[in-house]
Structure 1
């Protein structure tokens, strides 16, 4: 059985007035291993609501623990840092107006 948790971890305002939305999706779909450890896939995605640029930062087979989930949602994991850096860099240069 798969359960996904998706949340917006941060938003960055672009110079054009759009936002770069940084979301975190945690998929709890791996069964426990022989030691009883559960595993999850963690995806950070930065997506611009102006120009549509998008970047994914994925961790497959991460230990499904509270510290790992916390690091993912607080953007303190390695991929969380990378996604945050990409989102901030993109927001600082994107001049596209918000879609919609």
Structure 2
């Protein structure tokens, strides 16, 4: 199996997400395809925030098993900490991560 790009993974997550929110699908059915896509994206971002996650974390949650989600989430957070030049423990505190 080939590894999905982040964009492909996100598209897959949005497709699964809209199945979980039939009310949203009904609300936006008369909008243009582009407007529907925007509304789904915004609702997805709101859902991530409601769950205390970043949108990329919710994407992972929709496209992986719970075990893969936790492992991949930590890898990406560690990469973010390195890019930001922040010590891992400090980064975890700043982002309310429990490891």
Same fold (TM over 0.5): no
- The structure with more strand, counted as a fraction of residues: 1
- The structure with more helix, counted as a fraction of residues: 2
Q: TM-score, normalised by structure 2?
A: 0.29
